[in-house]
Amino acid sequence: MKPIYSSFVQAVKDIKDGSTIMVGGFGLVGIPENLILALVETGVKDLTVISNNCGVDDWGLGLLLKNHQIKKMIGSYVGENKEFERQVLAGELQVELVPQGTLAERIRAGGAGIPAFYTPAGVGTPVAEGKEVRIFDNKEYVLEQALKADFSLVRARVGDKMGNLLYNKTARNFNPMIAAAGTVTIAEVEELVEIGELNPNDVHTPSIYVQRLIVGQQEKRIEKRTVANV
């Protein structure tokens, strides 16, 4: 069995200033809402955050950004956050923008123990500046380094007490690969079941990648609501 926490703040209390963290989710889907709120409460600062995007102004990682707790953001999309834009233009935030597929593969490689790989994405653009470029089969490829983190924060629909995780639909986005790429992975689950209740064929993240568990209910906010009159 893995440690099961009752306090979100206690679950993240050893994330110190200057830590590198990965955070699962895509937009607001599948984000570990309560773990992020706990980091806001602890006030930890100078974080390097690796995630697909940085939430919105008033939710998700946007709360850490608003609180000036993020020093550097490594992600692929930042278009829904005005505070993000303001901090970048003001020189308050370091940003490394990565093509989305490359970001996913850099994280996956980090979890798999692969130090670097070649990809055609970004060749001939600022993404490739300062990086090694080689030719394979008459095509140029840029060398990208893997990404790892001190802590990975993920959100799962169901977890068992051993730490096996199952994600729900679209929430199975960056969460599985991020779970594998952290030295310490903290999983926020909506439901915790006994060992043996999950079908092994349904497990998305094996327990070996998870160090801490905590149960929490999420608001599951919608990033951009579109309605139609009928």
CATH code of 4-114+146-215, in short, is 3.40.1080.10
Banded pLDDT at 162 (limits 50, 70, 90): very high
Judged against a pLDDT cut of 80, whether residue 223 lies above it is answered with no
Judged against a pLDDT cut of 90, whether residue 5 lies above it is answered with yes
Banded pLDDT at 57 (limits 50, 70, 90): confident
CA distances (Å), origin 46, targets 17, 66, 84? 6, 13, 15
CA distance 54 to 81: 7
pLDDT in tens, 21-55: 999 999 899 999 999 999 999 999 999 999 999 98
CA distance 53 to 19: 18
3-state secondary structure 32-80: CHHHHHHHHHHCCCCEEEECCECCECCECHHHHHHCCCEEEEEECECCC
Average confidence (pLDDT) over 136-152: 98
**pLDDT for res 222:** 79
Give the burial class of 50: count Cβ atoms within 10 A of its Cβ; 0-12 exposed, 13-18 middle, 19 or more buried: buried
**pLDDT for res 124:** 94
User: Average pLDDT of the chain?
Assistant: 95
pLDDT in tens, 89-143: 999 999 999 999 999 999 999 999 999 999 999 999 999 999 999 999 999 999 9
Q: Which residues contact 51 (CB under 8 A, 6 or more apart)?
A: 22, 23, 24, 25, 61, 73, 74, 75, 174, 178
Segments making up each domain of the chain, as ranges = 4-114+146-215
Considering only CA atoms, which of 97, 101, 117 is closest in space to residue 109? 117
